[in-house]
Structure 1
Amino acid sequence: MNIKIVQIPKIEDPRGNLSVIEKNVIPFEFKRVYYLYDVPTGAERGGHSHIEQQEFLIALSGSFDVVLNDGTHQKTIPLNRPFEGLLIHNGIWRELKNFSSGAVCLVVASDVFCEEDYVRDFEEFIKSTLIS
């Protein structure tokens, strides 16, 4: 599966830690940053894949699970450390579930929003993986 947990440099300090995302951390230039927060108990986010776009997800606060599917295998990755990010390349279905109270998910994306880049139907996604 074309995903990877990436360590984000952490500068430890008694006054509080600092993590920095620079060019050498994410293997793409980002064009969009957004974040999810105040997700109600039991709610799910995601539920799509991208044709071209890559994303880097970080649990800035709290925790949540990222359920990934490449059309053949499914894997669940828990995110709960602000110094680790999940790199998701294109062609991977993702669903975000089990948000803890106060969870914040930061997403760094390789491109601006473009609806045509989204595959929002799981059956369509599975069919596209069979063609590839």
Structure 2
Amino acid sequence: MLQINAVHHIAIICSDYGRSKAFYTDVLGLTVIREIHREERQSYKLDLALNGEYLIELFSFPTPPERVSRPEATGLRHLAFEVNKLDAAVEALTAKNVSVEPIRTDKTTGKRFTFFVDPDDLPIELYEL
């Protein structure tokens, strides 16, 4: 049987590297581990951490196709982050001019959650413990 230990990283391709780098670092608070410019691919690769743990690879490419987010399409649906205090997290996002959906409650777990999007319309969920 296959034994998976953990999620190693999530790779995201962005359309505007500078805008996405600012969003993931300045708005979400992820920290830069390493930034590499790959000249032969005309691409940047930014390794980002959450609480000191490697989490996201942010890539840029010259002309990536747009992601289909709505209507929901087959494939990755969203990226979810766990938070302790959802109201405080929503306030922090709205203070940085990020539009956040109304808070909802998961009918199965009774936990509260909400969604917002990154600069390329990738849905991101905040899920309260």
TM-score range, shorter chain: under 0.3
The structure where strand makes up a greater share of residues is 1
The structure where helix makes up a greater share of residues is 2
| Rg comparison, structure with higher value | 2
TM-score by length of 1: 0.27
TM-score by length of 2: 0.27
Question: Using CA pairs below 8 Å that are at least 6 residues apart, which structure has the higher relative contact order?
Answer: 1
